[in-house]
Structures are given as structure tokens and as C-alpha cells.
Amino acid sequence: MKKNYTVRHGALEGVEAFLAVARRRNFRRAAADLGVTPSAVSQAIRAIEARLGVALFVRTTRSVGLTEAGQRFLDRAGPAFEELAAAGETARNLGQRPTGLLRLTLPRSVVPLIIEPMLASFCQAYPDIELELAASDEMVDLASGGFDAGIRMGEFIAPDMVAVRLTPSFAWTVVGSPDYIAQHGRPERLQDLRGHACLRLRRSSGLIAPWHFTEGNKPVEASFSGPLIAHDYPTLLGAAMRGVGLAQVPQPLAQRGIAEGTLEPVLAGIAAMTPGVFLYHPGKRQVLPKLRAFIDHMKSAA
């Protein structure tokens, strides 16, 4: 059965005034510190004493002192109020300038392609931001995982997220090593892949990802068999370079290997396109400066 929960009305009212008077032992000086009138301070003290049901100060025409209850209240309320004020200042700073811990979830394959080229310049430009990168190919719930944002390919981002483009769209590229293609032949049609060792990706959902193609301007998904199933694209790419089989990977991942001659693309004429890589976040409230700084830096470095 659900319990009713109510915030005690006025639980903190008058505490700041009490602490000011306790520190100054003088109502006028306390009022000057707080920027209010002495009568306002007196009213606040009367109200808190009435709420607690006990006198906190001993007042004479010449001095102000603490009662035993007042001293005990000061001993407990003073440090607690300072912590509360510090917590408020910390939250205010996070909302006003780029500072604090920025946690991002992203696939391993994105780190060398997108993050590493701008990492040094970002850390130099924003020394008050601690950047934490959780590299994993699993789809993580941002809120429950405590992440500020995630980075993924566009087709894997939920429609209720705010998505910020980081790369142009690119192709799904099928690649193999020159030795593998020389030994097993170059596939010319989609059907030819049935006779090849196709390296496959298992998604975080547990399903084997199909390969994507376009035939006659229509998207086609196909499933094949092969000697290796991996949970991330860098592993598939490394296996393809070593002649284990053919792999379908995002084109930017294979670009270096193709340029260096360790990989050869095949079936380029029917390659499917992916929307590209995006940063995404809930966006239901104002984006904190730390995340806004990261987004702007990514755009300027692109």
C-alpha cells in the first residue's frame, strides 16, 4: 500500500535568520548581513520558535544568548544548512557554466573515429569538465545508467530522444582481405554470398544482425552463415583483415584498411546507406552547459 508523502511546510523557514543571529548575537547585525530589516529577523525567529515549541534565544536589552535548545539546534542545523547551501551552489554552477562530470555511452568503434580526434582539444578548452566515456556496444538506458547522453548510429536511437548529427550518412560496406578474395573469389551478386564465410554481429538484444543491401532502390535484409560471431564491429573488422571471411561494417571503419590495401570492398553497387552517427539525449529539460559545450565542440571539430 502506498504511503502518503508530504513535505513539512516551512521546515527550513527561519533557519538562515536563526543562524545569522546565533553567529552575530545581535538582531540588527544579523539583519544587515541578510539584507532585511531587524523586524523581519525578529518575526522569523518568533515563527521558528513557535514552530519548534521552544525558545532558542535568551534576550535582554543588552545581549542575545542561546538557550540550551538553541545551542543544540545550532550544533545540528549549522553544518546541515552549510551543506544545503553548498549543494545549491554546486547545482547552480552546473546550470550556469561548463563544469562537472559528463558521462557518455557509445560504441567502441566510435571512439577512434569521432572522439579521439577531438579529445585533447575538448579537454584543453573545458578543464572544469570531467569526461567519462563508457564504451560498449550494448544499448543503455540513459536515465537508469546515469548518462548525460549517448552516441549511436541513427537507426538505433529511440524516437523520443533529441538527436544531434555528428557525421554524414554512409554506406554499409562488405569487405574482405585481398588473400581471402583471391582464394574464395569476389562475390558479384547478393546470392554469391551464400558460398562465403560471412562474419556476423550479435546485438545486445541477443539477435544476430542481418546484412543490409539495396536492390532496385528497395532495402533488402539477408542472413548468412560463417565461422565467427562477434559483439562489436572492430572485432569483425580485425577478423576480416586476417582472412577469416567477409564482414559488413560501417564504411568509415573500413576506410583506413581499404586505403592501406589490407581490405577490399565488394558489392559496392548494392550497398545500403545508414543515416550516420548521432549524439542523443532526453532533452526534456534545458541542456546543461557541460553537454552543450561538448555538442558545440563536436560540431566545430567536424
Q: Model-level pTM? A: 0.65
Strands (E) across 138-245 are located at: 149-153, 162-165, 170-176, 198-201, 211-215, 218-222, 229-230
Range of the domain at 119: 100-168+276-301
C-alpha cell recorded at residue 142: 540513459
> Within its chain, how far is the Cα of 227 from the centroid?
36
At position 235, the amino acid (one-letter code) is T
User: Which of 74, 96, 118 lies at the terminal end of a domain, its last residue?
Assistant: 96
Q: Tens digit of pLDDT for each residue in 203-230?
A: 877 899 999 999 888 999 999 999 999 9
Are 181 and 257 found together in one domain? yes
The number of domains in the chain is 3
Nearest to 205 by CA among 273, 286, 139: 139
Q: Tens digit of pLDDT for each residue in 41-80?
A: 889 888 888 888 888 888 877 788 888 888 888 888 878 8
Q: Tell me, yes or no, whether 137 lies in a domain.
A: yes
Q: Which of helix, strand or coil describes residue 281?
A: strand
**Cβ-Cβ contacts under 8 Å for 186 (sequence gap 6 or more):** 264, 266
Q: Tens digit of pLDDT for each residue in 136-173?
A: 888 888 888 889 999 998 888 888 899 999 999 999 99
Q: Tell me, yes or no, whether 4 lies in a domain.
A: no
Nearest to 158 by CA among 28, 242, 280: 280
Are 186 and 270 found together in one domain? yes
Q: Tell me, yes or no, whether 7 lies in a domain.
A: no
